[in-house]
Amino acid sequence: MAEPKKKKIVSADTGEEVAAGSKKRPAAVQAAPVGNATGLRVGAIILWVFAIVFEILGVLVLFGKINLKFMPQMYQLILFIVLDLACVIIGSQLWKKANHIKPASEKNPTLFWLWNNMGVIVCAFAFVPFIILLLTNKNVDKKTKTIATVAAIIALLIGGATSIDYNPVSAEQQEAAMEAIVDDVYWSPFGKVYHTHDDCQALNQSEQLTYGTVEQAIAEGRTRLCSFCAKRDAITGVATDNVDVSDYVPEEAVEEVVDEAEAEVETDEAA
C-alpha cells in the first residue's frame, strides 16, 4: 500500500512550516483577520474611479476630442480599454477580499446581492456605455470600430468573470462558523474550502497546508467547510461545500479492509 504524501503545514500568522501532528501550534483564538476591510474597499473604489476615467478618455478619443498623435486612434482606444480592464479587475479583487474579511448581512437579500456583485456592476458601467457608443458612432472607420468593439466586449467578459464572487459569505455564516469551530482549521493552496482535520481524505493529494482560525480561512477565500470534516465532527449549521458524503467511509475503515485483503492474499500464496 502506497504511503500517503507527507504534508507541509504553514501557519497563516507566521508563514512558518509546522509538521503535521505537531503540538507546537498557535492557541485556538479568534485572530485578527488578514488585512483591513475598510482600506481594501477604499482602494477598490479608487481603482474603479480610475476605470471610469479611462472609459471617459476612451470616449473622448472616439469622438476626436483627444488625439495622442504618436499612435493611431485604434491603438489609443485599445490602450484605454486595457487600462480600464486592469483597474476593474484589481479593484474587484480588493472588494472581494474585503467582503471575506467583513461580510455583509444576508438579512436584506437585495443589499447582500448588490454588495457581493459590486465588481460586476462596476464592470458593466466601465464597458457597456463605451461599447454602445462605439457601435453607434458613424465617424470611425470600419476596421477601427470592429477591432475596438471586439476588444471592449472581450474586456467586459473578462472583467465580469473575474469580478464575480463564486463563494460569497454572509456575516451570519461567518459568525456561525466561528462559533461552531474554535480550533485551527486547514486549507490547501488551491482549495476552495477549509478543513477541521489535516488528515482529511480530501487533502490526500495536498503536500502543503496552511492553518489558522476560521476567520483567517474565510478571509483567504475558503468560505465553506469541507463536507467530509463536517460529517466527521457532526458539525451542523455551518455552510459546507456541495460534496455528497452519504457514502463516506472513514479512512481508517478503508485501511482496515485493504489490510485484510493483503492478509488474505499472503495466506493464499503461502498455501
* Range among 42-56, 105-119, 134-148, 164-178 rated most confident: 42-56
CA 61 vs. chain centroid, Å, equals: 35
Does an H or E element contain 27, and which?
A: none
Global pTM?
Answer: 0.75
Quick one: average pLDDT of 169-193?
Answer: 88
Instruction: For residue 156, give the amino acid letter.
Output: L
Residues 227 and 240 sit within 8 Å (Cβ to Cβ): yes
* pLDDT greater at residue 84 or residue 259: 84
Confidence of residue 66 (pLDDT cuts 50, 70, 90): confident
- pLDDT confidence of residue 13: 59
Is the pLDDT confidence value at 49 over 70? yes
Integer CA distances (angstroms), 230 to 23, 166, 185, 196, 237, in order: 23, 21, 12, 8, 10
Quick one: average pLDDT of 136-162?
Answer: 94
Confidence of residue 87 (pLDDT cuts 50, 70, 90): very high
Residue boundaries of the structural domains of the chain = 37-163, 172-244
210-258: pLDDT as tens digits: 888 899 999 988 889 999 999 998 988 888 886 544 444 444 444 554 4
- pLDDT confidence of residue 15: 59
Does an H or E element contain 174, and which?
A: helix 171-180
Any residues with CB less than 8 A from the CB of 46 and at least 6 apart, and which?
Answer: 91
- pLDDT confidence of residue 32: 40
